[in-house]
Amino acid sequence: MIHSHPDKARAFVADDERAHWHDKALWFVRVKRDRGAATVPEWEALRTAAEGIKAHTLSRLGAYLEEFEAKAAANGIQVHWARDGEEHNRIVHGILERHRVSLLVKSKSMLTEELHLNPYLEARGIEVVDTDLGERIVQLAGEPPSHIVMPAIHRKKEEIGELFHEKLGTPKGLSDPTVLTGKARVHLREKFLSAQAGLTGVNFAIAETGGFVVVTNEGNADMGTTLPRVHVASMGIEKVIPRLADLGVFLRLLARSATGQPVSSYTTHFHAPLPGGELHVVIVDSGRSQMLSEAHRRKALSCIRCGACLNTCPVYRRSGGYSYSYLIPGPIGSVLGPHRDLAGHASLPFASSLCGSCTDVCPVKVDLHHQLLVLRQEAGEEKLIPLGKRLGMKAAAFAMARPGLFRAGGRFARWVLRAAPGLARFGPAAVWLRGRELPEAPRESFADLYDRETAGKPEERS
C-alpha cells in the first residue's frame, strides 16, 4: 500500500488529546528557540553568513572534501569513501571485524539510520546500542526516530516507564523523568564499559584542520569514543565546512535553533585517534552528489539537522513523525525524501500548507516551502497527483480561461447553493463540508456590484 501522509495524519488527529499534547510539546521547543535566537542581536546576519558559507562550500565541495581527507590523514585519521549505504556498511563492518568487535556503542546519527547500519551489523552478529537517551528509547521499542533531534518526542513519560519496566526490568509505574534517566544511565554505563568500538555521526568536518566536531547534550558521544579504543565516524559529503573560523557561525545557530540553548552541553573536537587506538571517518555520498548536480535541489544539502523546521511546522506538530513516509519527517524530510524518490514519497510535497514558517526559522535559510512547491510541479509533470485532483484542476482551468463560462458557472453554483444547500454534500465541496460550513452564496457577484457602483446606482443588499 502506498504510504499516504493524509491518511496517517488523519489517524493521528483522531486522538485529539494526544495530538494536542504533541503540538504543545513541540511548540514549547519552538518558543524556547525564539527566546534563544532573540538573545543574539546579529541573528539574521548569522543566518545569512551560514547560508553563504554553505553555498560556497557546496559550489566546490570536491576540493574541500579532498582537503579534509589530506589533513585528516596527516593527523592520523583513516579516511574511507563510500558511494552508498551498502559500501558504507561494508566498510564499517570490516573495521569492526578486524577488531573483533561484538558490541558497538553508537551516538545519535541520522545518517546511519538512513543507511540501515544497525540491521546490517546485527545480521552479522554485532550488538549495536544507541546511547542517546531518546534514540535508546526508540531502539528498545523497535521504532524508528520520530524526530531528528528528539527521537522519542512522541512518547509520554508514562509510556517510557512502561517500556523500561518491560525491557530493562525497572519497577513498574515509573514516570519521573529524572528517575527514568538515572535508570537509563546505569544501563548505558554498562554498555559503554564493555563496548569495543564507538560510532558517532559528524556535525561539522573542517577542511582546514582535518578535524571534525560532534555536538550532543548527553555526552554519550564522548563516552562512546573515549572508553573503546576504536572510533568510527560516519558523515555525509555535505558536512564539510572550509575553515575553523566558520564553525562559530554554525555552533551559535545550531543549539539555539534546536532547543534554545546558547550552546550544546558537549561540543567535542576530534583531531586524531586515541593513543594506541584507531579513528576512522567514512565519507558517504548516498544520493547526495545527485542532488548537488541539480540546482533546484542543491540548497537542501545545506541542512544542519537542527530540527527547528519540524518544531515550527503546524502540520508536523499535528501529524507526528510517523505520518511521513521518509525517515526524516517534517519540512526538511518532505523535501529530501521526494528529491531522492518522488514516486516513493509523492504525498510529502503536499503535506504542507506552504505557510513558510520552516523557511523563516531555518538557521541556514533552506527555502523549504519553496522547494515543496517546486516538487509539486515535478509531481504534476510526472502524473503523481491523484487523478481526481488533476481532472478537477483541468476543468477549473478550462472554465477560468473563459470569462463567460466562469461567470455563468459561478451564478449557477451560487443559485444551487441558495436553493438547495443540501446538494453541496454531493458535489466537489463534499470533503470541505465534513468539518466546515461553506460561505453563504450571495445573489450578486462582485462584477455585478461593480457595474452598479460605477453607474452610481444604490447597492442592493443580498
Partner 1 sequence: MGKVGLFIPCYVDQFFPRVGLATLRVLRGLGLEVEYPRDQTCCGQPMYNTGCSREARPLAERFVRLFAGYEAVVAPSASCVSMVKLHYPELLGGTDEVRRLAGRTFDLSEYLVDVVKVTRVEGEYAKKVGLHRSCHGIRELRESSSSERMDAPFDKTRQLVSQLRGIELVELDRPDECCGFGGTFAVTEEAVSCMMGRDRIADHVRAGAEVIAGYDMSCLMHLDGLARRDGTKLPIVHVAEMLEKARLSR
Task: Scan residues 235-294 and list those touching ligand SF4 (CB under 6 A).
Answer: 257
Q: Are 9 and 351 in contact (CB under 8 A)?
A: yes
The total number of residues shown for the chain amounts to: 462
One of 211, 242, 307, 320 touching ligand SF4 (CB under 6 A): 307
Residue 364 binds which of partner 1, ligand SF4, none (CB < 5-8 A, kind-dependent): ligand SF4
Q: What are phi and psi of 37, to 5 degrees?
A: -65, -35
One of 137, 195, 197, 308 touching ligand SF4 (CB under 6 A): 308
Q: Are 398 and 409 in contact (CB under 8 A)?
A: no
Q: Which three cell numbers stand for residue 27?
A: 511548540
Q: Does 46 bind ligand SF4 (CB under 6 A)?
A: no
Residue 126 binds which of ligand SF4, partner 1, none (CB < 5-8 A, kind-dependent): none
Residue 142 burial (10 A CB sphere; 0-12, 13-18, 19+): exposed
What is the DSSP track for 104-146? EEE---HHHHHTTHHHHHHTTT-EEEE-SHHHHHHHHHT---S
Taking the C-alpha atoms of residue 291 and residue 349, their distance in angstroms, rounded to an integer, is 17
Taking the C-alpha atoms of residue 442 and residue 462, their distance in angstroms, rounded to an integer, is 6
DSSP bridge pairs for 279: 231
Question: Which CB sits closer to partner 1, 276 or 439?
Answer: 439
Question: Which CB sits closer to partner 1, 397 or 420?
Answer: 397
Applying CB under 8 A, the site for partner 1 has a residue count of: 79
Q: Does 366 bind ligand SF4 (CB under 6 A)?
A: yes
Residue 193 binds which of partner 1, ligand SF4, none (CB < 5-8 A, kind-dependent): none
Residue 9 binds which of partner 1, ligand SF4, none (CB < 5-8 A, kind-dependent): partner 1
One of 74, 144, 377, 418 touching partner 1 (CB under 8 A): 377
**Stretch of 133-141, 158-166, 177-185, 442-450 lying at the interface with partner 1 (CB under 8 A):** 442-450
In angstroms, what CA-CA distances link 342 with 103, 298, 334?
A: 37, 16, 10
Question: Which CB sits closer to ligand SF4, 187 or 369?
Answer: 369
Under DSSP, the state recorded for 382 is: T
**Stretch of 123-131, 198-206, 232-240, 361-369 lying at the interface with ligand SF4 (CB under 6 A):** 361-369
Q: Does 161 bind ligand SF4 (CB under 6 A)?
A: no
Question: Which CB sits closer to ligand SF4, 91 or 348?
Answer: 348
Distance, CA of 131 to chain centre: 20
Q: Does 423 bind partner 1 (CB under 8 A)?
A: no
Distance, CA of 62 to chain centre: 25
In terms of phi and psi (left: phi > 0; alpha: psi -120 to 50; beta: otherwise), the region of 230 is beta
Residue 415 binds which of partner 1, ligand SF4, none (CB < 5-8 A, kind-dependent): none
DSSP bridge pairs for 266: 216
One of 131, 259, 302, 312 touching partner 1 (CB under 8 A): 312
Residue 98 binds which of partner 1, ligand SF4, none (CB < 5-8 A, kind-dependent): none
Rounded to a whole number of angstroms, the minimum distance from the CB of residue 424 to partner 1 is: 12
Binding site for ligand SF4 (CB under 6 A): 257, 303-309, 332, 361-364, 366, 368
